[in-house]
Amino acid sequence: MKVAVVGATGMVGEVMLKVLAERNFPITELIPVASERSVGKKLPYKGNDYTVVGLETAVSMKPDIALFSAGGGTSLEWAPKFAEVGTTVVDNSSAWRMDPTKKLVVPEINANELTAEDKIIANPNCSTIQLVMALNPLHDKYKMKRVVVSTYQSVSGTGVKAVQQLENEIAGIEGEMAYPYPIGRNALPHCDVFLENGYTKEEMKLAREPQKIMNDKTFSVSATAVRIPTAGGHSESVNVEFENDFDLAEVRQILSETPGVVVQDDLENNSYPMPIYAHDKDEVFVGRIRRDETQPNTLNMWIVADNLRKGAATNTIQIAEYLVENNLV
């Protein structure tokens, strides 16, 4: 299996290499790919050093799979070029997510939609993935009508520059700003760019992507996305109104039996999901599960996951694993 990692020197790319090694993904030849300024650099993987190549070179090497995390512009231009030479691309950017001809996949939910003809597959937004992991099994059982989600997103979701800004602020160093304001001791209700409807692009991803992943437009999602000064891990406060009533014990049981979800909800021992706990883990953690006492059939919960792992790298690699296991590449 010849595997290219496009954006190998970036934050998600580095985690992809780490997760590929941890999961013993069947690689015979690794091709780390990055922008021209990184070409020629050496990257370690499983005890060997691999030389970073440019996109043109990577396409000519005809990898079986290309895992992309290099931004939307790069994906729009280069994913089709890889697909043309027979490579299956799993793309981590927003470029292809809402394209009606492309599948948007969370393996635990809808990997069975994939076929050998799918040459460009979209990985959902980080905050969407953890949300649908918890919502999907509950929707199957109780049927959702409306979801209201507020996110508390880490700076690593923005990238290296934002992590550096936070570290600089903590150290009292003046440096390059990734955000229009300081992020330390602050909260920015501004994830991605503002759109004409007053929402940010991130908020609209949260509104639209769950419907596509779950192949169901009978429910709606309203989102507010906020950037907070945590280094890694996204958190979400989620309010879900269902068509049918639920039993809290059954909700906990359904979630605890869902692959990839861990219920962490022991209030007597102050046990609840936190970014510090989700760090470097692949599971989605759900807690603070309680009834909304202001209206019927409505649930509140708190969802936390490592945005660079299940929110990005791990989900991408799980898609690739599914393709390999089912002989789709």
What global pTM score does this model have?
0.97
Residue 161 pLDDT:
95
11 is in an annotated binding site: yes
pLDDT (tens digit per residue) in 56-112: 999 999 999 999 999 999 999 999 999 999 999 999 999 999 999 999 999 999 999
H helices of 61-116, in order, are 72-84, 107-110
Whether residues 78 and 149 share a domain: the answer is: no
CA 256/CA 263 separation, integer angstroms: 6
Count of domains for the chain: 2
End-to-end CA distance of the chain: 9
Q: How many CA atoms lie less than 13 Å away from 182 in the CB half-sphere? A: 11
Cβ contacts of 205 within 8 Å, gap of 6 or more: 94, 97, 124, 125, 127, 128, 192
101 a known binding residue? no
Question: Average pLDDT, whole number, for the chain?
Answer: 97
Residues 151-209: tens digit of each pLDDT: 999 999 999 999 999 999 999 999 999 999 999 999 999 999 999 999 999 999 999 99
Does residue 213 share a domain with residue 73?
A: no
Q: What is the CATH number of the domain that holds 111?
A: 3.40.50.720
Candidate list 139, 191, 234, 279, residue with the active-site label: 234
Would the annotation count 157 as a binding residue? yes
The answer to whether 242 and 163 have CB atoms below 8 angstroms apart is: no
What lies within 8 Å, CB to CB, of 278 at 6+ separation is: 233, 285, 304, 305, 306
Q: Which of 126, 139, 191, 279 is catalytic?
A: 126
Please indicate if the annotation marks 153 as binding a ligand: yes
Per the annotation, the verdict on 191 as an active-site residue is no
Same-domain status, 146 and 290: yes
Q: Are residues 74 and 146 in the same domain?
A: no
CA distance 305 to 271: 15
